[in-house]
Amino acid sequence: MTTVLGIDTATSHVSIAIAVDGVILGESSLPADRRHAEVLTPALTLLFAEAGLRPKNLDAIGVGIGPGLFTGLRVGVTTAMTMGHALGVPVLPVSTLDILAIPHARDGRVVASVLDARRKEVFCATYRTGVLDHGDPVIERLTDDEVGSAQEFLDRLLQLGERVLVVGGGAGVYAEVFAGHDSIEVAGPEYSIPSGGVLVLRASRDLENGLGQLADSVRPRYLRKSDAELNWNKVGK
Amino acid sequence: MTTILGIETSCDETAAAVVVDGLDIRSNVISTQVELHARYGGVVPEVASRAHLESINAVITRALDEAGVSLGELDAVAACHGPGLAGALLVGVSAGKALALVLDVPYVGVHHLEAHLHAAWLEDPSVEMPMAVLLVSGGHTMIVSMEGTGRYRILGQTVDDAAGEAYDKVARALGLGYPGGPVIDRIAKDGDPRAVAFPRPMLNEGLDFSFSGLKTAVMLEIRRNPDRPAHDIAASFQEAVVETLVYKLEKAADQIGARTLVLGGGVAANSRLRARVAEVAEKSGRRALLPRHDLCTDNGAMIAAAAHFRLISDGPTSLDDGATPGLILPTIG
């Protein structure tokens, strides 16, 4: 029996789930705003209790490594690293943009996963989706996780010359940017929050494929340097 | 016997320690980020937070190894939950709560300044109360009357810069780099503390401090007399700071009838300050309690020690506790 916990705190929500042998036992997504640390630990306590499990039953932990807003992101990553380290189990890092795209694997269009990065920028990645002959969905990355202006990202999507579905919290924040193009549809707000269930199933499959990492080696995907480093580089010292 | 792991990540030290029964330090591991921040001339919050995340588990593991204690032997896990830098605090708090959850032991969120107040106790548990404690660092400058665990009165504090901040700014103006405290302390030994008569701000105005004006006076002096040796300026500046701190600490001790003078915080590692507090204590027949260097600067042992007493008086901290950058020291008036 393989028990996996999933944690994502890269957005304004805390999303968690537990799966046993690839079946979701329970999941929850809670609004956190800037209170990820306050929300996450009690939510985990409740999830374990309701699932009839204890942390020591875990075989692995999947964690959303962003990109996302730094302070919240670090709460989930630190928690997953520390739990994994203490339990001696592997951690599976998963891009938060993947978590948002995966539910649309059967869509068939190009899926663009977008999160608000503040400062008029988005974190984004694009995927090719579809269904194989025998009926299994397939989702393949077309780009790495990137950060840039929403307008630039839109321009690149238009250049693809394909139909695109835009998902994730950034789609709503920049709705005006993405609206008014025949080839581009913005998914509904029900697709704006990363799902703990999607994360934990992806992590379970990654674990089977031998992608587990030493807990202490996992790092958030910041994509941006700190302001001080950026300013320092500008000065050119 | 209660064995507590204490975690401290409020600023630029990633620290963890194991303390038994609030007094017996089994390990005290401190990983400093000072070199990371040196080129910026001060602590950069985002840089600090990232570095905490990268070293927190290694530091915790080393603290357990050095103590010869396994995770399963911990009776509680404590972390500093404020005041401090939000992103930095959250790494320690998240790690502390994650461990408490996994081990099914109590979590204790500890006030950073309360922890510094307990560092002196770690040196000598038999010390007589009340103590007059001078907490002085890059972020704080205050005098506290400590009458026991959880029984504190703030008698005075800085109205502008912390003393350590003034050290950093003066060091930068003198081209001495960052952090300013150790380097000014070192070169001041070769300087004349009477070379420049810098002001002793607010010396006769209660127990509050002000270091902003002194810092400006030093800047003006550097501009007016660019040829004056840096060690003379450093020595004169340090003398003004130390004289002010020590004068008010003694006045506070008189006011509350304290038999013990205590130093805490990063600036408490300053050799001139330590020497002067020792002298003044001896002259007035008091005791000077000067914690060793790794208990003055930010450390996990003080967190574990304070947590031990908080656990007895208040019980565990709820797991819905977070980090509070501007957390106020709970006082009794």
pLDDT score of B333 more than 80:
no
A3-96+194-236 maps to CATH 3.30.420.40: yes
Alpha helices in A104-209 (DSSP H): 150-159, 169-173, 175-178, 196-208
Between 3.30.720.110, 3.40.50.1470, 3.30.420.40, 3.40.50.720, what CATH number should domain A97-191 receive? 3.30.420.40
pLDDT band at B149 (very low <50, low <70, confident <90, very high): confident
User: Quick one: average pLDDT of A103-118?
Assistant: 96
Contact B98 A216 (CB under 8 A): no
pLDDT tens, residue by residue, A121-145 = 999 999 999 999 999 999 999 999 9
**HEC sequence for chain B:** CCEEEEEECCCCEEEEEEEECCCEEEEEEEEECHHHHHCCCCCCHHHHHHHHHHHHHHHHHHHHHHHCCCHHHCCEEEEEEECCCHHHHHHHHHHHHHHHHHHCCCEEEEEHHHHHHHHHHHHCCCCCCCEEEEEECCCCEEEEEEEECCEEEEEEEECCCCHHHHHHHHHHHCCCCCCHHHHHHHHHCCCCCCCCCCCCCCCCCCCCECCHHHHHHHHHHHHHCCCCCHHHHHHHHHHHHHHHHHHHHHHHHHHHCCCEEEEECHHHHCHHHHHHHHHHHHHCCCEEECCCHHHHCCCHHHHHHHHHHHHHHHCCCCCCCCCCCCCCCCCCC
Q: What is the pLDDT of chain B when averaged over all its residues?
A: 95
B162-210: per-residue pLDDT in tens?
A: 999 999 999 999 999 989 999 999 999 999 999 999 999 888 889 999 9
pLDDT at B332: 87
Q: Check B53 against A85: CB less than 8 A apart.
A: no
- pLDDT at position A234: 65
Nearest CB partner across the interface for B323, out of A37, A42, A79: A37
- Tens-place pLDDT, residues A142-190: 999 999 999 999 999 999 999 999 999 999 999 999 999 999 999 988 8
**What pLDDT is attached to residue B122?**
84
Cβ of residue B73 closer than 8 Å to a chain A Cβ: no
User: What is the Cα–Cα distance from B120 to A106, expressed in whole angstroms?
Assistant: 64
CA of B43 vs chain A CAs: smallest distance (Å)? 10
In total, the C-beta contacts within 8 angstroms joining chain A to chain B are 104
What single-letter DSSP state applies at residue A188? P
Among A71, A91, A222, A229, which would you mutate to test the B interface (most chain B Cβ atoms within 10 Å of its Cβ)? Answer: A71
Best of B12, B81, B91, B97 to substitute, by most chain A Cβ atoms within 10 angstroms, is B97
User: What is the end-to-end Cα distance of chain B in Å, rounded?
Assistant: 33
> Confidence band (pLDDT; 50, 70, 90) for A235?
low
The residue type of A142 is L
Rounded Cα distance, B7 and B30, in Å: 10
State the pLDDT at residue B94: 98
Nearest Cα of chain B lies from the Cα of A183 at a distance, in angstroms, of 39
Q: Taking CB atoms and an 8 Å limit, are B47 and A71 in contact across chains?
A: no
Contact between B101 and A38 using a beta-carbon 8 Å cutoff: no
Q: Chain B residue closest to A38 (CA)?
A: B320
Classify domain B1-115+293-312 at the CATH topology level.
Nucleotidyltransferase; domain 5 (3.30.420)
Task: Give the residue on A whose Cα is nearest the Cα of B55.
Answer: A216
In the CATH scheme, what is the code of domain B127-291? 3.30.420.40
The chain A residue lying nearest B51, using CA atoms, is A219
Residue B94 sits at the chain A interface (C-beta within 8 Å):
yes
Domain boundaries, chain A: 3-96+194-236, 97-191
Mean pLDDT score of chain A: 95
A82: nearest CB among B46, B50, B98: B98
Residue B247's pLDDT band, with cuts at 50, 70 and 90, is very high
- Mean pLDDT over A45-54 rounds to 97
Same fold, A3-96+194-236 and A97-191: yes
Q: Which two tokens stand for residue A172?
A: 């709503």
Q: For chain B, where do the domains classified as CATH 3.30.420.40 start and end?
A: 1-115+293-312, 127-291
Mean pLDDT throughout B64-84?
A: 98
CB-based contact, B65 to chain A, within 8 Å = no
Reported as type and span, the H/E element at residue A72 is: helix A70-87
What is the token pair recorded at B1?
């016997």
In chain A, which residues have their Cβ closer than 8 Å to the Cβ of B61? 85
Partners of residue B5 in chain A, C-beta under 8 Å: none
| Rg for chain B, CA atoms, rounded | 20
Residue A236: pLDDT band (50, 70, 90) is very low
| Whether the predicted pLDDT of B213 surpasses 60 | yes
Looking at residue B260, what is its pLDDT? Answer: 95
> With an 8 Å Cβ cutoff, are A228 and B40 in contact?
yes
Report whether pLDDT(A237) > 50: no
A70-87 and B45-67 helices cross at what angle (nearest 10)? 10
Task: Report CB contact under 8 Å: A35, B39.
Answer: no
Residue in A40, A74, A86 closest to B53 by CB: A74
- Distance, in Å, from the CA atom of A84 to the CA atom of A88, rounded to the nearest integer, reads 6
